[in-house]
Structure 1
Amino acid sequence: MRGLKKKRRIQIIVVAFVALASATAIIGYALQDGINFFRSPSQVIAEPPRPAEVFRIGGLVEDGSIVRGQGEEVRFAVTDGGATVPVTFVGILPDLFEEGQGMVGTGRYVNGVFEASEILAKHDETYMPKEVVDALKEQGVYQDPEGGS
């Protein structure tokens, strides 16, 4: 009788471990598409990501680079002062999107062009995403609009 209880307890522990491992694997697989890493243009040029990898890129929209194509197609360049990456986007841009302003795009880097599926722009005169500020500071081109560092 005592051996049967011990055997049953071991079986329950093994089944619980297998269930926990399976649940962890399923959650990891499900979240894999939802994780988008941020890269600055300098990082993209230095180490180009795989074409299938979805990531976020951020920086300043380069002055004079916005070109509107057929329909809702827009081409522009994003820079962090150290490197410039061409971007294509099909869709409606945010109202606050303009040259010389901060932006973050989500998409893929294919054949030397970032193909954006989503573009986010600043939401007021002074806002810029932390990742973009850090990348611009790293390049030495960030100027704090409020006069601080």
Structure 2
Amino acid sequence: MPYKQPISTLIVIHTADARVLLLERADYEGAWQSVTGSREGDEQLIETAVREVGEETGFDATQFELTDWQYQNEYEIYERWRHRYQPGTTHNTEHVFGLLLPDTLTPRVAPREHVGFMWLPWDQAADKVFSWSNAAAIRQLPERLGLMV
């Protein structure tokens, strides 16, 4: 299996009223997150986002409003997942996207990656995710949607 690239996308899937879809990781019980995944080959980041949404939820992101939020995070890769990257790779650059759905649709969860899903209001979702970068992205959602909080 080839090593993962240390370049990834994080896709905050949400509704217009700032409800956020979270997925529970299959390999880390109790760890909730947004859709995320590494770039493959020379994909454009938007292609990575579309592919990851499809793989992890069954949603066709091209049928909804997918927005590049034009910001990124660099973070240290968790020790438990470093074996997936080339030896010596310790950091990942994550590019953030948002996907606006018309309602809280039911995803088709990829069983090898996730064991459950839930829709939560943005503030509860931000508190639930295990990753600081995921929480920071979700906390931007009200402003991006023009909601008063």
Which range, TM-score by smaller chain? under 0.3
User: TM-score scaled to structure 2, two decimals?
Assistant: 0.25
Structure label with greater radius of gyration = 1
Specify which structure has the higher proportion of helix.
Answer: 1
Specify which structure has the higher proportion of strand.
Answer: 2
User: TM-score scaled to structure 1, two decimals?
Assistant: 0.25
